[in-house]
Amino acid sequence: MRIAEGHHPITVDSTTLTRSDLVAAAGAVSGALDSISRVAVLATPTMETVLAVAGALRAGVEVVPVPSDAGSAELAHILADAQPQAWLGAAPADSHGRPVLPVDVDARSAAVEVDVPAEQVAFVLYTSGTTGAPKGVLLSHGAIIAGLDALAEAWAWTSHDVLAHGLPLFHVHGLILGVLGPLRTGSGLIHTGKPTPEAYARASASGATMFFGVPTVWSRIAAAPEQAAALRSARLLVSGSAGLPVPVFERILQLTGHEVAERYGMSETLITVATRADGVRRAGWVGVPVNGVETRLRDEAGAEVPHDGESIGRLEVRGDTLFSGYLNRPEATSETRTSDGWFRTGDVAVIDADGLHRIVGRESVDLIKSGGYRVGAGEIEASLLGHPAVLEVAVVGVPDEDLGQRIVAFVVPATGVSGSDELADKLTAYVGDELSAHKRPRAIVFTDALPRNEMGKVQKKRLTR
């Protein structure tokens, strides 16, 4: 993937390079990769990581991003599965016998970029492993370019922009969108190191026009009025990786004057659905398919589900941004495809008459069939998060002889709030008033914390054991 020309520099945690220097530094990395076909990159939020990734891609070398906080078991699994020939840049204390190729931020070279076929693999990107050991997702150069170009069109993202974020550099959001996006569009980049309200306010003062964050980031900004007000000068605020609670959406609008644009995607598909810069923005709704992508909803029998904004169906997608398969797992790859070539996302969603999508959650744990109704856990969670007594929540369906499944909400109370039968009754009534009677939880279970994996995702199956 070529690095586009632009006037704005690239800054990663206080290290800044002009675009010409970045190209030359990436060229020096590329020139050191003779006879190498796949490298592991310890994805710390540093300029070394950016240069390692950019240099490897320029040389046609596959990149295996490794989370900087990966545990020993996760690290061993990734290296055994992907078999990278070397570490590029920094390496963990245990390099598992692989050589370490240094990345020098000050090195410069005019190494010629390799002409890489669109179908060639660019990344082996490991999933979070919510249903077993992480799988290596094979993403091609062509898929990445298609995805970034589609988002540039949807968000009117140009070389005049400066993107700011502090997201990790080992996954789609922070690395592909947040680093390769600016390199592809020619926009500037300010990676803040950590995604704090203070860091985002400083980035705004430095000219940032676009900001990426996950709901946790936006929640913290919503709780910091002075820093949030600094984002009024931005052009676009984007949230992803999970649904943005309505109260956070409304508070950010109040403090910044901006409605946050949400989007949806996954490692296997990149970003397939996004709220357009010139489109309607509604909390909890992730927009419309980007250029080159189609979506559809199907029920358990494979029949079409109406686009009425209420009916829930399995979300399937197809298009130019899809992955090439799972590394070493042909059977798992084939299981994700329908007979007519669509990708089964494993998510359930609703689509309204205007084509706007709302993700209900994972089919395996978030689609609840209760009393003849199909209920999305995500909708109930979003409702409960709007109550001031709720800090975190996870909604699940548990077996019930009468209803098939009954709706149970596991709630972490807000600071200073104690769980009680009285509060449980209030929360149940709150959901019934906001949504429908059949969507009310049949039980509220108060807990100190929700079980999460290393990526911070709630492990709902542990709640139903």
For every residue of 48-68, DSSP letters joined together read HHHHHHHHHHHTT-EEEEEET
Q: H or E element: which one contains 384? A: helix 377-385
Residues 267 and 338 in one domain: yes
What integer best gives the mean pLDDT of the chain? 92
Task: Using the structure block, give the residue that is written with the tokens 């949504």.
Answer: 435
Helices 47-58, 19-30: inter-axial angle, 10-degree rounding: 60
Res 114: pLDDT? 87
Residues 424 and 292 in one domain: no
Residue where a domain terminates, one of 329, 362, 395: 362
Res 454: pLDDT? 52
Residues 445 and 346 in one domain: no
Residues 313 and 404 in one domain: no
Residues 343 and 375 in one domain: no
Q: Give ∠ CA 226-229-234 in degrees, rounded to 5.
A: 145
Closest CA to 396 of 365, 419, 370: 365
Res 11: pLDDT? 97
User: Is 44 domain-assigned?
Assistant: yes
Determine the Cα–Cα distance for residues 396 and 428; give it in Å rounded to an integer.
Answer: 14
Q: Name the residue type at position 282.
A: R
Are 238 and 260 within 8 A, CB to CB? yes
Given a cut of 60, whether residue 158 has pLDDT beyond it is yes
Higher pLDDT, 132 or 34: 34
User: Is 390 domain-assigned?
Assistant: yes
Banded pLDDT at 409 (limits 50, 70, 90): very high
Query: How many of the other CB atoms lie within 10 Å of CB of 211?
Result: 29
Q: Which of the 8 DSSP states describes residue 174?
A: I
Residues 84 and 136 in one domain: yes
Residues 341 and 386 in one domain: no
Return all residues near 448 (Cβ < 8 A) that are at least 6 apart.
412
User: Is 96 domain-assigned?
Assistant: yes
Percent of the chain with pLDDT over 70: 98
Average pLDDT of span 442-459: 82
Given a cut of 60, whether residue 130 has pLDDT beyond it is no
Higher pLDDT, 454 or 285: 285
Q: H or E element: which one contains 363? A: helix 363-366
Banded pLDDT at 464 (limits 50, 70, 90): confident
Res 131: pLDDT? 52
The parent domain of residue 421 ranges over 371-462
Q: How far apart are the first and last CA of the chain?
A: 46
User: Is 71 domain-assigned?
Assistant: yes
Determine the Cα–Cα distance for residues 290 and 150; give it in Å rounded to an integer.
Answer: 6
Residues 127 and 149 in one domain: yes
Determine the Cα–Cα distance for residues 119 and 140; give it in Å rounded to an integer.
Answer: 5
User: Is 229 domain-assigned?
Assistant: no
Residue 295, domain CATH:
2.30.38.10
Res 128: pLDDT? 66
Residue 136, domain CATH:
3.40.50.12780
Residue where a domain terminates, one of 309, 338, 362: 362
User: Is 415 domain-assigned?
Assistant: yes
Residues 289 and 419 in one domain: no
CA torsion sign for 225, 231, 235, 241 is negative
Q: Name the residue type at position 463.
A: L
Higher pLDDT, 424 or 404: 424
Residues 46 and 131 in one domain: yes
Residues 410 and 308 in one domain: no
Q: How far is CA 59 from CA 24, 257, 275, 428, in A?
A: 13, 43, 34, 57
User: Is 171 domain-assigned?
Assistant: yes
Count CA atoms closer than 13 A to 407's CA, side-chain side: 29
Res 43: pLDDT? 94
Domain count, the chain: 3
Determine the Cα–Cα distance for residues 134 and 71; give it in Å rounded to an integer.
Answer: 13
Residue where a domain terminates, one of 144, 160, 194: 194
How do residues 45-88 score in pLDDT, each as one tens digit? 999 999 999 999 999 999 999 988 887 888 999 999 999 999 99
**φ and ψ at 148, to 5 degrees?**
-70, -40
**φ and ψ at 54, to 5 degrees?**
-60, -40
Q: Which residues make beta-bridge pairs with 441?
A: none
Banded pLDDT at 402 (limits 50, 70, 90): confident
Residues 356 and 375 in one domain: no
User: Is 215 domain-assigned?
Assistant: no
Are 213 and 221 within 8 A, CB to CB? yes
Higher pLDDT, 313 or 112: 313
Residue 437, domain CATH:
3.30.300.30
